């Protein structure tokens, strides 16, 4: 597997940004043992409903706080107490701030070092996100808005857990600028195409026919955008109006975990059982389309330099845009000065105005 250093993206191994780390359904019951950004982590839901993310290892003797199924702490239901988590080894208890607030066999002053590093955890759209920041600062952009989530005519998604792939995220992000794979891999006949880069957002607008997803020369139009380096949404107009969501998060250097989901507008204001079934089936079609990319990524060698043709999409520009997240924020402006704007591709009409105003919403 290839590393960030080999791609020469920037000095930070893992990019700054919002990243999905779990779907909400995974969190029911017991604390989760996770690994992201080269670190072992623990994610749990406190009894108030609050989600808490912290380093995995107890400061006492480095026990993993979540990865245990046999201690009486776990059996007796004292693993999670209120919004606290208790270590399975000697039962020290830590608050959602990571500070040890009870040691059952010691009534002296709890040592200041008895604390665990915590991270921001936000629940949105049925998923848990964290803000990863090599500079350890506050978020400098927000998660994407998704007003359709609260629109009752949309069938809410359940996530496809796509698992862990030995592929550097750079290879995945290249896809945002990849005009010429759309025909061979996905069966699209692209009639217009463009990319746009601005600030932390990278957009791809394209439309045309499709071998299987539309009939009678209808258009399948997608307006797709990254909000930061790891969260992608796509407005898809085909058989149904839908919002596709893809998240990929670094696990280790050159290894990512990914999820896919689709929010589908049903023909009725409140979806019937049939509408839900149709939405699930449509999500499966979308997942299969994404699996076509996965098939390539899991088997390809790392591409450090694209042998780019003028009629390829703007891979080089997309890579420059992406590099801003692997460098201090202070460098973002200079990086963006090289790539911001709309980039059509030679031989391909740019997006019509309607597509431009539609995405991102
Ligand atoms: S190792 Fe966690 S309480 Fe001892
Ligand atoms: Fe693709």
d(CA 192, CA 215): 18
Q: What is the pLDDT of residues 171-230, one digit of tens each?
A: 999 999 999 999 999 999 999 999 999 999 999 999 998 876 676 678 889 999 999 999
Cross-strand partners of 224: 204, 234
Nearest-angstrom CA–CA distance, 85 and 93:
6
Q: Which atom of ligand 1 is nearest to the CA of 90?
A: 3
Give the Cα separation of 205 and 158 in Å (integer).
26
pTM of the model: 0.96
Average pLDDT over residues 289-303: 95
In this prediction, residue 214 carries a pLDDT of 72
CATH T-level fold of 17-132? Rieske Iron-sulfur Protein (2.102.10)
Query: What pLDDT does residue 299 have?
Result: 95
CA of 34 to the centre of ligand 1 (A): 19
Could you identify the atom of ligand 1 that is nearest to the CA of residue 91?
A: 3
Closest residue (by CA) to atom 1 of ligand 1? 61
The pLDDT, as a whole number, for residue 361 is 67
For residue 90, give the ligand nearest its CA: 1
Ligand 1 in reach of 89 Cβ (< 6 A): yes
Residue 109 has pLDDT above 80, yes or no: yes
Give the strand order in the sheet containing 17-23.
17-23, 127-132, 122-124
Residue 159 has pLDDT above 90, yes or no: yes
What ligand is nearest to the CA atom of residue 64? Answer: 1
What's the pLDDT at 238?
A: 78
Neighbours of 361 (CB within 10 A): 14
Q: DSSP states of 104-138 as a string?
A: TT--SPPPTT-B--EE--EEETTEEEEEE-TT---
* CA of 61, closest atom in ligand 1: 1
- Tokens representing residue 258 in the block: 């990914």
Question: What is the C-alpha to C-alpha distance for residues 359 and 242, in angstroms, rounded to an integer?
Answer: 13
User: For residue 19, which phi and psi values (nearest 5 degrees)?
Assistant: -135, 140
Query: What pLDDT is attached to residue 210?
Result: 81
The pLDDT of residue 353 is above 70: yes
Which pLDDT value is given to residue 203? 98
Mean pLDDT of 113-121: 98
Residue 28 has pLDDT above 80, yes or no: yes
Q: Is 61 in the pocket of ligand 1 (CB under 6 A)?
A: yes
C-beta atoms surrounding 304 within 10 Å: 11
Pick the residue with more confidence: 316 or 213? 316
Work out the average pLDDT over 84-92: 98
Query: Tell me, what's the pLDDT at 86?
Result: 98
How far is 338 from 117, CA to CA, in rounded Å?
Answer: 37
**Which residues fall within 8 angstroms of residue 137, CB to CB, at 6 or more apart?**
329
pLDDT digits (tens, 9 = 90+) for 223-237: 999 999 999 999 998
CA dist list (Å): 71 to 34, 64, 90, 269: 19, 12, 10, 49
Which among 291, 240, 231 has a CA at the least distance from the CA of 263? Answer: 240
pLDDT more than 90, % of the chain: 92
Show me where the domains of the chain are located: 17-132, 147-358
Going by C-alpha positions, the residue among 178, 187, 192 that lies closest to residue 221 is 192
3-class DSSP state for residue 180? helix
The pLDDT, as a whole number, for residue 347 is 93
Q: Which residues pair with 61 in a beta bridge?
A: none
Q: How far is the CA of 105 from the centre of ligand 1 (A)?
A: 12
Query: What value does the mean pLDDT take over residues 58-80?
Result: 97
Superfamily name with CATH number, domain 147-358:
Naphthalene 1,2-dioxygenase Alpha Subunit; Chain A, domain 1 (3.90.380.10)
Where do runs of H (alpha helix) occur along the chain?
4-7, 72-75, 169-173, 182-186, 273-299, 315-323, 332-337, 353-358
Atom of ligand 1 nearest to the CA of 92: 3
Report the candidate in 110, 72, 107 with the shortest Cα–Cα distance to residue 94. 110
């Amino acid at each position: 597997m290839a590393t960030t250093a080999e791609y020469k993206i920037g000095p930070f191994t893992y990019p700054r940004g919002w990243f999905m780390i779990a779907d909400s359904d995974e969190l029911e019951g017991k604390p989760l043992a996770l690994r992201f950004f080269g670190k072992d982590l623990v994610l749990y839901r406190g009894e108030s409903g609050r989600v808490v993310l912290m380093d995995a290892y107890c400061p006492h003797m480095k026990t993993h706080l979540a990865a245990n199924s046999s201690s009486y702490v776990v059996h007796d239901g004292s693993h999670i107490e209120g919004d606290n988590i208790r270590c399975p080894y000697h039962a020290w208890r830590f608050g959602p701030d990571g500070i040890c607030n009870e040691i059952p066999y010691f009534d002296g002053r709890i040592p200041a070092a008895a604390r665990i590093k915590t991270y921001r955890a936000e629940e949105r759209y049925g998923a848990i996100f964290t803000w990863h920041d090599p500079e350890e600062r506050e978020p400098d952009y927000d998660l994407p808005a998704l007003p359709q989530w609260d629109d009752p005519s949309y069938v809410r998604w359940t996530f496809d857990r796509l698992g862990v792939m030995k592929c550097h995220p750079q290879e995945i992000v290249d896809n945002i600028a990849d005009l010429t794979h759309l025909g061979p891999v996905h069966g699209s006949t692209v009639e217009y195409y463009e990319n746009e880069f601005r600030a932390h957002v990278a957009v791809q607008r394209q439309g045309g026919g499709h071998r299987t997803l539309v009939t009678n020369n209808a258009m399948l139009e997608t307006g797709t955008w990254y909000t930061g380096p790891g969260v992608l949404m796509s407005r898809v107009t085909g058989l149904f109006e839908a919002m596709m969501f893809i998240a990929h998060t670094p696990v280790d250097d050159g290894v990512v975990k990914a999820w896919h989901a689709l929010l589908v507008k049903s023909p009725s204001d409140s979806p019937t059982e049939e509408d839900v079934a149709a939405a699930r089936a449509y999500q499966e079609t979308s997942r299969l389309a994404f699996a076509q990319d996965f098939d390539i990524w899991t088997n390809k060698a790392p591409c450090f330099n694209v042998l780019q043709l003028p009629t390829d999409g703007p891979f080089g520009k997309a890579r420059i845009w992406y590099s801003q997240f692997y460098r201090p924020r202070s460098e973002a402006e200079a990086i963006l000065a090289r790539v911001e704007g709309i980039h059509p591709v030679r031989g391909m009409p740019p997006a019509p105005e309607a597509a431009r105003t539609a995405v991102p919403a």
